[in-house]
Amino acid sequence: MSNQQASNFAYPIPSDLTQQQAAASSSSNTAQPQSRQAAEDARKDRTLAEFLLMLDEYEPLIPNEVTDYYLQRVGFECEDVRLKRLLSLAAQKFASDIAADAYQHARIRTNAAGGRARANQAFITPGSKDRTRTTLTMEDLSAALAEYGINSRKPDYYL
């Protein structure tokens, strides 16, 4: 990635971008696909720049210090706080997706065993509500992680 392309990601839209759009719109009909591509690229750059500006005010659930620590451990050096927040947001979404998938596995498991569990339930008091709680197990989490290619099994001879 060239320095100018990298600067497009770190800063608001440069003024030469509007010049590119004007040049693309004034091109001949033979260059029509290229102008569409240039307009699409300009729209994507504008959208990315707006998103990065929104990250200035966003405070992710994962604290900046934790993100900095793990980025430092893997050798990633960057002074742009917005990029670090973007990585933190991606990690947050990844963990959220895994938790949601594990919850779905748990619901499927409890619904499959639901008929047997209701038959084994001895008494329901008149004041209580008939609602079951979903308990996430390691099996549910392992199944969700396996969808993402992560093996969470313990070794056969774990001590």
Res 30: pLDDT: 47
In a domain, 116, yes or no: no
In a domain, 34, yes or no: yes
In a domain, 83, yes or no: no
pLDDT > 90 fraction of the chain, expressed in percent and rounded: 33
pTM (two decimals):
0.60
Q: What is the pLDDT of residues 19-67, one digit of tens each?
A: 444 444 444 444 455 789 998 988 988 888 888 888 888 888 999 899 9
CA 22 to chain centre: 35
In a domain, 102, yes or no: no
Q: Specify the number of domains making up the chain.
A: 1
Give the type of residue at 29. Answer: N
- Average pLDDT on 83-100 reads 94
In a domain, 111, yes or no: no
Res. 133 pLDDT band, cuts 50 70 90: confident
Write the burial class of residue 124 (CB in 10 Å: 0-12 exposed, 13-18 middle, 19+ buried): exposed
Highest-confidence range of 79-83, 91-95, 115-119, 127-131, by mean pLDDT? 91-95
Q: Name the residue with higher pLDDT: 123 or 83.
A: 83
Flag whether pLDDT at 99 surpasses 90.
yes
In a domain, 115, yes or no: no
In a domain, 33, yes or no: yes
The domain containing residue 45 runs over which residues? 1-57
In a domain, 67, yes or no: no
Res 98: pLDDT: 96
Write the burial class of residue 88 (CB in 10 Å: 0-12 exposed, 13-18 middle, 19+ buried): buried
Give the type of residue at 54. Answer: M
User: Torsion-angle region of residue 12: left (phi > 0), alpha (psi -120 to 50) or beta?
Assistant: beta
Res 12: pLDDT: 44
Nearest to 86 by CA among 130, 48, 126, 36: 48
Instruction: Please list the alpha-helical segments (H only) found in 11-137.
Output: 16-25, 32-55, 64-73, 81-112, 114-120
